[in-house]
Amino acid sequence: MHQLLKNDLANFNHLLEKTKESSKQYLDSIEQRPPATGYLKKENPGIPLPGIGAEKTLELFLKRYGDAMPASNGPRFWGLVTGGTTPAAVIGDWLTSIYDLNLSHAANSVAPDIEMEALNMLGELFGLPASFSGTFVSGATMSNFSALAIAREWIGQQSGKSVAQEGLQAIPPVKVLSCEAHSSSFKAMAMLGLGRNSLKVIARLPENREAMNVVELRKALETLNGEPCIVIANAGTVNTVDFDDVQAIAALKSEFNFWLHVDAAFGGFAACSPKFKHLLNGIEHADSITIDAHKWLNVPYDSAMVFTRHRDLQISVFQNSAAYLGPISEPVDFIHLTPENSRRLRALPAWFSLMAYGKEGYQDIVERNCETAKLLGDRIEASKEFRLLAPVRMNVVCFTLSGEVTAEKVKTFLADLRDDGRVFMTPTTYLGTPGIRAAFSNWRTQEIDVEIAWQAMLDCVKK
Ligand SMILES: Cc1ncc(COP(=O)(O)O)c(C=O)c1O
């Protein structure tokens, strides 16, 4: 064994203590750190010939990057839709690396049991019937990708074909219908050979809504004359957290032949609260569902789930048969259910966090995030400096600057706000107007954070 590896093996406990110390220092300063920082654009030093050992590497890392590490997992990173990491999730993630289990095979570890237990708890949290089975993937984009891959297989099945076996050339071009599909669904369509342009946009409901007009969907389905297609419904749009009427869309299944995919990347967490749960009515009729874990579940990147009621088709797409891997048998190994073969035990942080905080803990996070979003919305509504672009429906505040607003003005304001260091938000365009999104999905966020952020917003808007 190389001497440096030998030393580190002998010093493993000491190294873990050092790592714990630096983690503690970071966590103790999370309230003071800016939520976001830009690229440092440092010169790349290249790989050393003799290494320097783990302890010196930790010291070097902290010197080089430690102070610049932002608090994007802190209470005031309100850009994109960004969750933090609960204490229990940190334990689960640390242990994931310690055990370093590969999920692919049930024959050599308990990892699949842990993933199944976590998925079972998640199914309960989201109120999904037992007909759904889930798998962990790396994010909602991969979840949308996996779901649409299974949907594509279903389309083939309608005419006795298997796209997984015969390729896309075996079937006519696949039609996908959606209203405000997340950009990641277009990316998934590009990766699956369906093509971004195959998505037909269904009109929204009038009056400041981002939800699908189901009457228009019906018309579009009628024009297909019985040809099977895919409908992507949204449960939580990124700009204004609007929900499609999944119940009404699912009801059309009795008349038209379509696969219903619901992108509930963060809106799926509406199920955690009696106040919001009705927004997901009908989701049990979906064929597949995307829900992210690194957003509102507050586990570390990268983690999400894909749920489907068509595991047979999922196996058709993702099966990975080889003599050295053995035949496919029950319980089906995850290697036959996801795009990856080998993958980490990303279910463990979820398992820890779900056990540690339970249904009530997640209800608290969801409701508290929505209440703080509402507080910010109320301030904006009552102010002369800003104006709301849409009602605050759940955890995202979509607003803009008062007066004549341009993308440039929004950009300057947001850059000043980031550099101020108290809060971070990201830009958007809503119904043609340049706007700003403040998205709340971190377990740490409290009322005081709205106070701090509001002061920063006023200071920066006056610049
Ligand atoms: C509705 C929706 N779907 C999909 C995604 C993509 O998620 P990820 O970045 O985890 O791939 C997002 C991200 O914000 C989202 O809000």
pLDDT over threshold 90, residue 322: no
pLDDT over threshold 80, residue 8: yes
Does the beta carbon of 178 sit less than 6 angstroms from any atom of ligand 1?
Answer: no
C-alpha dist (Å) from residue 133 to 118, 269, 410, 440:
12, 18, 43, 29
Does the beta carbon of 268 sit less than 6 angstroms from any atom of ligand 1?
Answer: no
Does the beta carbon of 181 sit less than 6 angstroms from any atom of ligand 1?
Answer: no
Class of domain 90-352: alpha beta
Q: What is the 3-state secondary structure (H, E, C) of the chain?
A: CCHHHHHHHHCHHHHHHHHHHHHHHHHHCCCCCCCCCCCCCCCCCCCCCCCCCHHHHHHHHHHHHHHHCCCCCCCCECCCCCCCCCHHHHHHHHHHHHHCCCCCCHHHCCHHHHHHHHHHHHHHHCCCCCCCEEEEECCHHHHHHHHHHHHHHHHHHCCCCCHHHHCHHHCCCCCEEECCCCHHHHHHHHHCCCCHHHEEECCECCCCCCCECHHHHHHHHHHCCCCCEEEEEEECCCCCCCECCHHHHHHHHHCCCEEEEEECCCHHHHHHCCCCHHHHCCHHHCCEEEEECCCCCCCCCCCEEEEECCHHHHHHHHCCCCHHHCCCCCCCCHHHCCCCCCCCCCHHHHHHHHHHHHHHHHHHHHHHHHHHHHHHHHHHHHCCCEEECCCCCCCEEEEEECCCCCHHHHHHHHHHHHHHCCCECEEEEECCEEEEEEECCCCCCCHHHHHHHHHHHHHHHCC
Tell how far the Cα of 294 is from the centroid of ligand 1, in angstroms.
10
- Report the mean per-residue pLDDT for the chain: 96
Return the residue whose CA atom lies nearest to atom 16 of ligand 1: 238
Does the beta carbon of 304 sit less than 6 angstroms from any atom of ligand 1?
Answer: yes
Q: What is the pLDDT of residue 226?
A: 95
CA atoms within 13 A on the CB side of 142: 18
- Mutational pocket test of ligand 1: of 136, 262, 292, the residue with most ligand atoms within 8 Å of the beta carbon: 292
Which tokens hold the place of 329? 């048998």
pLDDT tens-digit profile of 121-149?
Answer: 999 999 999 999 999 999 999 999 999 99
- Mutational pocket test of ligand 1: of 184, 395, 398, the residue with most ligand atoms within 8 Å of the beta carbon: 184
Does the beta carbon of 289 sit less than 6 angstroms from any atom of ligand 1?
Answer: no
pLDDT over threshold 80, residue 243: yes
Q: What is the pLDDT of residue 327?
A: 77
pLDDT over threshold 90, residue 329: no
Which of 344, 348, 327 has its CA nearest to residue 336?
327
* Ligand 1 atom nearest residue 237's Cα: 1
Lowest mean pLDDT of 95-109, 211-225, 263-277, name the range.
95-109
pLDDT tens-digit profile of 32-64?
Answer: 999 999 777 778 889 999 999 999 999 999 999
Lowest mean pLDDT of 20-29, 158-167, 308-317, 331-340, name the range.
331-340
Q: What is the pLDDT of residue 331?
A: 83
Q: What is the pLDDT of residue 330?
A: 83
Distance CA 396, CA 440 (A): 6
Class of residue 122 by CB neighbours under 10 A (exposed 0-12, middle 13-18, buried 19+): buried
Return the residue whose CA atom lies nearest to atom 15 of ligand 1: 265
Mean pLDDT in residue range 151-176: 97
pLDDT tens-digit profile of 91-116?
Answer: 999 999 999 998 767 678 889 999 99
Return the residue whose CA atom lies nearest to atom 2 of ligand 1: 265
- Residue 167 CB: number of other CB atoms within 10 A? 12
Q: What is the pLDDT of residue 323?
A: 76
Does the beta carbon of 140 sit less than 6 angstroms from any atom of ligand 1?
Answer: yes
Does the beta carbon of 145 sit less than 6 angstroms from any atom of ligand 1?
Answer: no
Return the residue whose CA atom lies nearest to atom 1 of ligand 1: 265
Domain boundaries, the chain: 3-71, 90-352
Does the beta carbon of 141 sit less than 6 angstroms from any atom of ligand 1?
Answer: yes
Tell how far the Cα of 234 is from the centroid of ligand 1, in angstroms.
11
β pairing state of 176-178 and 386-388: unpaired
- Its pTM stands at 0.97
* Ligand 1 atom nearest residue 264's Cα: 1
User: pLDDT band for position 28 (50/70/90)?
Assistant: very high
Q: What is the pLDDT of residue 105?
A: 72
Q: What is the pLDDT of residue 184?
A: 98
Does the beta carbon of 263 sit less than 6 angstroms from any atom of ligand 1?
Answer: yes
